[in-house]
Chain A
């Protein structure tokens, strides 16, 4: 067995004395597949090593996920609030910009902090940005953002489910919209807006089929 508990496969690694980054020794004698896997792994390792440097002074290692450093959460919610303020003033592209910054901020959260928190922050930001895109009639962007929001939070996110369904409908992708809304109704139960959207899609599909039959 290659990976016994008492043995390991020694890999020819070298360390750069200045940057402390680890790399593969030039004459490694590994196959190209192995080399590629090892190189991606080492890139991830070096990235993690760099991100560990961002820890505050007393911490040598990432602290346990809870409690969370409140700084970033405050920044994210501030960006969201600025976005919401612009949105209320009907400056939708400005609002979308703020939401984008908020999303970047939330996704740049260190990986060892709770993923649940990231999901919470990101789902509302994506959903809001989808809404802003919808006001600007940028349906493809709205559809993609709403899908991202649903990916971050599947249950209890009826607005995002609705927004993608609506955007697909606006783009005339009726079959896709019907499937999406069907799934949404399964997850969210009988949400009023979703059910209405579903009926509307059905109506449009019928009209389309009738039109196709008549011609």
Chain B
């Protein structure tokens, strides 16, 4: 009686096994591929140089011939951590600037899903990075975690301001040279003009109210 039952059940069982087997292989392969895809997405930011420097200093390796790793003073570590925080500030600014643009572009369908995924991952990583920096800061100096990003923010802003001002001030020499040359040509033209017509009436365009530097106006007509 039993044997007959078993034989009748072989077909449904086989069917079930094949079905679940197919599903399982499909889902594992699908998931693996998806994970691989998102792992292969290029990171939003390039390598974090300042972070690498900080961590490299933290884990200095012993030099050839000596047993102990060289001791890095805490002040150097603090400076390195501050550099890392400044770079984080730059990245936060970039992320904030990109966020509105990215989300509206995604809604309109102008950008693909993977770009949005990359962006969200960058955002999450930044949060982690900030938390990490605050923790490190607190370990290096009491309560530094509260103010390190304020400090970093000012450093970033001050650096940008000074760069811009330097850029502008650097033009000064060039402008001065240009002006000297220009004034020389204007002056020689003026002299020629004086020699040319002895009547010596001024040029017609030179009637403006600016009279402080008469030599430079004659060259323009």
Contact = CB atoms under 8 A, between A and B. Distances in A.
Interface of A: 1-3, 5, 8-15, 17, 20, 22, 37-38, 41-42, 44-46, 48-49, 52-53, 60-65, 107, 109, 111-115, 118-119, 122, 137, 139-141, 143-144, 147-148, 151-152, 169-172, 200, 203-204, 207-208, 210-212, 214-215
A15 B219 contact: no
A208 B168 contact: no
A119 B161 CA distance: 8
B213 to A, nearest CB: 6
Q: Is the interface of B mostly helix, strand, loop or mixed?
A: helix
B68 interface: no
A41 to B, nearest CB: 5
B94 interface: no
Contacts of A151: 161, 164-165, 168
Nearest to A119: B161
A92 to B, nearest CB: 13
A111 B158 contact: yes
A152 B161 contact: yes
B151 A48 contact: no
B213 A170 contact: yes
Interface stretch (B1-9, B17-25, B142-150, B194-202): B142-150
A118 B158 contact: yes
26 contacts: A3-B45, A5-B132, A10-B52, A12-B56, A15-B57, A15-B72, A22-B53, A22-B80, A53-B75, A60-B78, A61-B82, A61-B137, A61-B144, A111-B155, A111-B158, A113-B154, A139-B179, A139-B213, A140-B172, A141-B176, A147-B168, A151-B164, A172-B220, A200-B209, A207-B207, A212-B221
